[in-house]
């Protein structure tokens, strides 16, 4: 009975665990996206993940493209929530082959966020943000 029932069942469980480990540890792609986070919410029936969208704007006045992303770490989600409304750069890893939406609704998992100080308009043309302008004014006043 052990060889006919338990051994195949253990083999199936071990293969499933190996598949999930490989899918979660292997990255299809790694990259950065810059823009403005316009939505972030915690969603899911059983497996709660942070789901958000980033508005990517190439030129002022154009229609923004949306980048949908998932965050699994609450600390990263808190940081994204703090910089919401500012221009940010999100570092993500794209995972392929995850079988259910329990791991997240998207394939792009954000693991780092950086607030940008300047807004690039074109090559060599930069609009400083309010924080950068204020810190430059303080530096000039202290001289």
Q: What is the DSSP letter of 123?
A: T
DSSP character at residue 102: G
When pLDDT is cut at 50, 70 and 90, the band that residue 56 belongs to is: confident
Question: How far is Cα of residue 33 from the mean position of the Cα atoms in its chain?
Answer: 9
76-106 pLDDT, tens digit each: 999 999 998 888 999 999 988 777 777 788 9
Beta bridge partners of 68: 53
CATH for 27-142?
2.40.50.140
Give the number of other Cβ atoms within 10 Å of residue 130's Cβ. Answer: 9
Q: pTM for the full model?
A: 0.70
Nearest to 35 by CA among 81, 67, 61: 67
Residue range 17-27, pLDDT digits in tens? 888 787 777 78
The C-alpha atoms of residue 106 and residue 62 are separated, in whole angstroms, by: 25
The answer for residues whose C-beta is within 8 angstroms of residue 117's C-beta and 6 or more apart is 128, 129, 131, 132
């Amino acid at each position: 009975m052990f060889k006919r029932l338990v051994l195949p069942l253990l083999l199936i469980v071990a293969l499933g665990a190996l598949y999930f480990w490989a899918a979660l540890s292997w990255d299809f792609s790694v990259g950065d996206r810059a823009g403005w986070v316009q939505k972030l919410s915690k969603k899911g029936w059983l497996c709660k993940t942070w789901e958000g969208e980033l508005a990517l704007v190439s030129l002022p006045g154009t229609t923004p493209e949306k980048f949908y992303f998932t965050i699994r770490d609450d600390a990263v989600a808190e940081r994204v929530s703090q910089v919401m409304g500012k221009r940010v750069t999100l570092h993500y890893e794209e995972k392929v082959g995850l079988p259910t939406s329990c791991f997240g609704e998207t394939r792009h998992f954000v693991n780092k966020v950086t607030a940008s100080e300047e807004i690039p308009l074109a090559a060599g043309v930069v609009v400083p943000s309010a924080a950068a302008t204020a810190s430059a004014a303080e530096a000039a006043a202290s001289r």
